[in-house]
Chains A and B, each alone.
Chain A
Amino acid sequence: MEEHTLKNEESSLSPDQQLELIAQMLKESRKAIISMGFSSMIWGGFVSIGTALSYAFESWHWYVGIGILWAILMISAFLLVRSHGRRAQHQQHKTTLINKVFNEMWIFVFAAIVLYEIAGFLRPQSISLSYVLSVVSILVGTAYWISGSMTHYLIIRIVSILWIIGSIIVLLVPPFWSPAVVGACTLLCEFIPGIYLYARERKQSI
């Protein structure tokens, strides 16, 4: 495609050159860079650590500690991912519709997960932990599937399928082991692919 250098403002463009210029500019500005590596790595790592520590706290019968631990982990992970996302967005010098949809989808999923977990914590008799974790896994799996179709990464689509399988396993195992299934899912389907994606994204940005 012919490059239109705009230094010479006075020289006029023909109608087809003007249409070509419009198409070229639209194509350029629609390019969106979606990075998932850092967020997957942080969430995967934090949730895996949280799950392991929760089992340890439970064996010490320190149940208040579990609540405090999850509050600290969720807030820290959210702030870390948010600040990294903002920095990445500023480096792009623009915001596209795809970036906006992607961010809002994940914020919605995060809010839904937090609300479900609070509901499960407040009414354990009516909403079992296995059920809450299954819903959480379905939400995460669905968000990963949509992200996979936006980024065209096969690994993200595979991760989403594994999350859906995890959401079924959570309901089949004894309630004591259901957090362990989700912990394993976050380690295998978020943390490890997150490291791979983060390394790949850093390589591409260089």
Chain B
Amino acid sequence: MQENENNPYNYQNFDEVLSSRIRLAALALLAGCDEAEFTYIRDVIQTTDGNLASHLRKLEECGYVEYQKRFVDRKPATYYRITQEGRSALLAYSRRLTELLKNSESLGGMQHENETVKGQKP
């Protein structure tokens, strides 16, 4: 059990919700600001209304984001905000990715060293 948690390659350690690039991008975007309107997220992420809405609903169901509907200049607007849970999930996900990269680099380095040593043998 402990071994699984420490293993950076174990897929179970990665949050499945953030495996989608749209959800990951939306959550990271919301982490940088206090709140953002739906259209702003859509324009930055470059996706369609329907696609983004379904991904944001998934994030909301997991408790990672919350939304508020308001009237701006007599037009309805939906503002999204990241929750504390969402912030922690993004941080944990980023840490896992960094660990994975570090381990891949060190493995790559070792492999390169072995190849060099093999090449030097007469």
Contact = CB atoms under 8 A, between A and B. Distances in A.
Interface of A: 4-7, 9, 12-13, 15-16, 18-19, 21-22, 25-30, 90, 93-97, 99-100
Closest 8 CB pairs of A and B: A29-B32, A93-B40, A25-B28, A94-B36, A93-B37, A26-B32, A29-B33, A95-B34
Interface stretch (B19-27, B57-65, B107-115): B19-27
B97 interface: yes
B97 A25 contact: no
A199 B98 CA distance: 45
B7 to A, nearest CB: 15
Contacts of A4: 21, 25
Contacts of A7: 46-47
Given A25-B25, A25-B44, 18 more contacts: A6-B21, A9-B21, A9-B51, A13-B21, A15-B97, A18-B21, A18-B24, A19-B97, A21-B21, A22-B28, A22-B94, A26-B29, A27-B32, A90-B72, A95-B34, A96-B32, A96-B34, A100-B34
B32 to A, nearest CB: 3
A28 B44 contact: yes
B41 to A, nearest CB: 9
Label chain A's interface by main secondary structure. Answer: helix
A29 B39 contact: no
19 contacts: A6-B45, A15-B101, A16-B97, A19-B98, A19-B101, A21-B24, A22-B24, A22-B94, A25-B29, A27-B32, A28-B44, A29-B29, A93-B36, A94-B34, A94-B40, A95-B36, A96-B32, A96-B33, A97-B34
Interface residues of B, number: 32
B28 A26 contact: yes
Contacts of B47: 6-7
Given A94-B36, A95-B35, A9 B22 contact: yes
Interface in B66-80: 72-73, 77
A13 B101 CA distance: 13
A142 to B, nearest CB: 24
B31 interface: yes
Interface string B75-98: 001000000000000100010011
Contacts of A6: 21-22, 25, 45-47
Nearest to B8: A15
A18 B46 contact: no
Contact of B39 (A21, A93, A96): A93
Nearest to B97: A15
Given A22-B24, A22-B94, A97 B29 contact: no
Nearest to B96: A15
A27 B72 CA distance: 26
Given A4-B21, A6-B25, A29 B30 contact: yes
